[in-house]
């Protein structure tokens, strides 16, 4: 639970079967997938989704929860995240 604006960087080292958890908490929090393996998909709990092949659409995210599935099958659940970059 972080009060400020946080940046969570994934470096592509997640392994198949890993299940990580990110809670952005207060502030404008960003997940950086620049160095994650291609082929990841983000599915928001509101039903929207985007993937590594898409351009970033900032209108998709406000203060959302959802799940990232990486190209090798690891999952990262998140909540209270307002932005992604890749």
Footprint of Ca ion on this chain (CB under 5 A)? 2, 6, 24-25, 27, 29, 80
CB burial of residue 3 (10 Å; 0-12, 13-18, 19+): exposed
Q: Which is nearer to Ca ion, 6 or 66 (CB)?
A: 6
Min CB(23)–Ca ion separation in Å: 8
Residue the block writes with tokens 């998709």 = 60
Cβ 77 to Ca ion shortest distance, Å: 14
Q: Render 28-67 in DSSP notation, one character per residue.
A: --EEE-TTSPTT-EEEETTS-EEETTSPP-GGG-SSEEEE
Cβ-based nearer residue to Ca ion, 2 or 32 = 2
Give the shortest CB-10-to-Ca ion separation in angstroms. Answer: 17
Q: Which is nearer to Ca ion, 9 or 39 (CB)?
A: 9
């Amino acid at each position: 639970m972080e009060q400020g604006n946080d940046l969570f960087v994934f470096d592509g080292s997640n392994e198949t079967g890993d299940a990580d958890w990110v809670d952005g908490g207060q502030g404008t929090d960003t997940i950086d997938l620049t160095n994650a393996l291609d082929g990841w998909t983000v599915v928001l709990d509101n039903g929207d989704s985007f993937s590594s092949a898409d351009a970033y659409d900032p209108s998709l995210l406000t203060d959302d929860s959802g799940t990232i599935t990486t190209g090798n099958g690891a999952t990262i659940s998140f909540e209270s995240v307002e932005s992604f970059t890749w």
